[in-house]
Amino acid sequence: MISKELSQKLYADLIHGKTVNKQSYLIKTNELVENPFYNEVFNNLDEYKALYENISFELVHKHPGFFYVRSLNGDEANETTIKIQALLIVIGRIVTEKGYLFDTLTDYRAGIKLEDLNAAMEEERYTDILHTCKLCVGKNIEAEIKNNLISRELMFINSRGHYVLSNAGQSFFSALKDGYERDG
């Protein structure tokens, strides 16, 4: 049975381009907990799918656990998603290039410091990519992460003030890895 209260909040989030993650982070207690909104959709998946289909949206569920919606008529421009992808790839590259374990980016207790990202932004090779994706033009990396990743819950800031990938953010890298493995 769909919860009226949860479904209204879910609609507001999904329609604004937010993702709904399996786990959500509680900064006060520094822990990951089950996300009631994710469970709500997961437990009533067929009903929610039908509901969104009736208003021309497709409810997308991806591994390892997040939902988002897209238009059924596919009229959404790709610019936003390319920006998100480019930003994630650049962050991933900075982490691995600096010598951190990739898990640093996925573990809610660890995360990557803003200083590390800012330091990397002084290098042209990163800014070249971001500028050609209309990113970091007049805004700094912090603002771009906030606008494109945190607001969509692809990343969150932990109690140490570090950036960490949510389920939706991790999912992108796991798909990237699978694709690389498949293509050999």
**Which amino acid appears at position 13 of this protein?**
D
Of 2, 51, 110, 157, the one binding another protein (CB under 8 A) is: 110
Residue 44 or residue 147: which is nearer to another protein going by CB?
147
Size of the site for another protein (CB under 8 A): 57
User: Which residue's structure tokens are 């469970």?
Assistant: 39
Of 47, 134, 139, 161, the one binding another protein (CB under 8 A) is: 134
103 lies in the site for another protein, by CB under 8 A: yes
Residue 74 or residue 138: which is nearer to another protein going by CB?
74
Structure tokens at 135: 């990113």
* Binding track, positions 61-100, relative to another protein; x by CB under 8 A: -------xxxx--x-xxxxxxx-xxx--xx-xx--x-xxx
Residue 1 or residue 75: which is nearer to another protein going by CB?
75
122 lies in the site for another protein, by CB under 8 A: no
Binding residues vs another protein (CB under 8 A): 12, 14-17, 19, 58, 60, 68-71, 74, 76-82, 84-86, 89-90, 92-93, 96, 98-104, 107, 109-110, 125, 128-129, 131-134, 151-152, 168, 171-173, 175-177, 179-181
